[in-house]
Structure 1
Amino acid sequence: MLPCLDAICLVAFDLDGTLIDSVPDIAVAVDAMLEDAGLPTAGVARVRDWVGNGSRKLVERALAFATGSVPGDQMLNDAHEAFLRHYGRAPCARTRVYPGVREALTALRERELVLVVITNKPHAFVAPILEALGLAGYFDLTLGGDSLPQKKPDPAPLLHVAERFGIAPRHCLMVGDSRHDIEAARRAGFHALAVPYGYNHGEPISDSQPDAVVESLGELV
């Protein structure tokens, strides 16, 4: 086990870009939404850099790319509804679990740590994806981007799970792939562990100065 797990009682995981590579399915839904609006599609590579701040911000970025301007509220609302509809049809057709994730979750479970998911993805998609990938049984709680009024990088979701399980933030660890995860951890008083392979808007995750970076979550075993 890594030193960063010393005295840790609760581990919170980001989902997209940390536990799973979900961009292929997200990109299909984004492109379908853009096609509905008669706009040029974006493709996987662009969508990969847009993920991380919730579905509405993702759609806003896609529309700004396709139109060359910031979308108005009505256009954004309609496009967001279209994206959710398309994504809901097949949220896990191409999504895969990253190497080392199952082994890490199994090892942490054997240590009887509390495991939670804190993602900015709409909560309605979280359970179906975890179930489809065989990951649901590892987690004591899942929070989506719409589970609380605030989402990462606000510390509120992290503080919520710490309070829910009666564990002091100093005994909690946030594991993520983006600067939003690291910022949320810092503001909540959590320790922060990062992976470099996810979706961080094209920036090296080391720039956010997490407590540690692991190439694979398998290093937690």
Structure 2
Amino acid sequence: MKYEVALFDLDGTLVDSVYDLYIAMNLTLSDLAFPIVTQRLVESWVGNGIEVLVKRALSGDMQISEHLDTAFADKAITLFYDHYSEQVGEYSVLYQHVETGLAALSGMPKAVITNKARQFTEKLLDKLALTSHFELIVCGDDMTKKPSPEPLLFACRQLNVDVNQAIMIGDSKSDILAAQAANIDVIALNYGYNQGENLCDYNPQYLCEQFLDIIPILTKR
């Protein structure tokens, strides 16, 4: 097969986890006497790790305010961690056909490459019975986050494959840019958390509308 290893993003690719994040975010904002935000806004801010997500919520915008106090932001991030640790996995669901698709790829080594912290990633994967599908899990607090190529390159080294034998599957600009920086082919999925971006603009090798569309790409010879 052309590809020997598949690297998967988590949130927005395998799992729709935004409702957990939405609840934890509004509990955090309420603790701080900030106005609550909509689920749609939270979804638009997801993709660059919890710290960035919280700072966007405090700024009320995708662009983090340059006037945001660092100590206040750190307090908010701590509060969010506490709330999210109670919520993670409670309302998260697999996207359609993810379980079927991963089973179809049972003979291919797979890794999760996520910007989510390990304490939440492992809990979420366990709750959704996904852990056994993956040989490796690389999290946002292990090293530099996507769009850095570092976690993708680390995964290739750990799985003992060249970058031209790996493919990244994700739903956002960060996934595409990380893969391109690592010289790894990428499948962009249109159904996830793309932050309002048109993923075609970033020239992924493949653009798919649903999870099962990746199977013929990954299994072709």
TM-score by length of 2: 0.93
Aligned alpha-carbon RMSD (Å): 1.4
Q: Which of 164, 172, 175 does residue 170 from structure 1 map onto?
A: 164
Q: Which of 20, 28, 32 does residue 25 from structure 1 map onto?
A: 20
Between 62-71 and 136-145, report the one with greater CA deviation: 62-71
Partner secondary structure for residue 145 of structure 1: coil
Partner secondary structure for residue 116 of structure 1: strand
Residue 91 of structure 1 corresponds to which residue in structure 2? 88
Asked whether the 8 Å contact 2:187–2:214 carries over to 1, the reply is: no
Distance 2:46 2:67 in 1: 17
Q: Which of 191, 200, 221 does residue 194 from structure 2 map onto?
A: 200
Residue 69 of structure 1: CA displacement? Answer: 6.6
Distance 1:27 1:163 in 2: 35
Q: Which of 113, 128, 131 does residue 123 from structure 2 map onto?
A: 128
For the pair 1:114 / 2:109, whether they are aligned, the reply is yes
In structure 2, what residue type is equivalent to 1:107?
Answer: A
Residues 154-185 of structure 1: per-residue CA shift (max 9 Å, x gap):
00000001011110000000000001000000
In structure 1, what residue type is equivalent to 2:156?
Answer: A
In structure 2, what residue type is equivalent to 1:11?
Answer: A
Distance 1:70 1:115 in 2: 41
Residue 68 of structure 1: CA displacement? Answer: 7.3
Matched pairs, number: 213
Residues 63-115 of structure 1: per-residue CA shift (max 9 Å, x gap):
00189774211011000000010000120111110001111111111xx2110
Partner secondary structure for residue 181 of structure 2: helix
Residue 12 of structure 1: CA displacement? Answer: 0.4
Asked whether the 8 Å contact 1:34–1:40 carries over to 2, the reply is: yes
For the pair 1:101 / 2:101, whether they are aligned, the reply is no
Distance 2:174 2:66 in 1: 25
Asked whether the 8 Å contact 1:104–1:219 carries over to 2, the reply is: no
In structure 2, what residue type is equivalent to 1:50?
Answer: W
Asked whether the 8 Å contact 1:30–1:83 carries over to 2, the reply is: yes
**Unmatched 5+ residue regions in structure 2?**
216-221
Asked whether the 8 Å contact 1:170–1:190 carries over to 2, the reply is: yes
Residue identity (%): 35
In structure 1, what residue type is equivalent to 2:6?
Answer: V
Between 36-45 and 203-212, report the one with greater CA deviation: 203-212
Residue 80 of structure 1 corresponds to which residue in structure 2? 77
For the pair 1:153 / 2:158, whether they are aligned, the reply is no
**Unmatched 5+ residue regions in structure 1?**
1-5
Q: Which of 31, 42, 46 does residue 51 from structure 1 map onto?
A: 46
Partner secondary structure for residue 105 of structure 2: helix
Q: CA 1:165/1:69 → structure 2, altered by over 3 Å: closer, same or farther?
A: closer
Match runs of 1:208-219 below 5 Å: 208-219=202-213
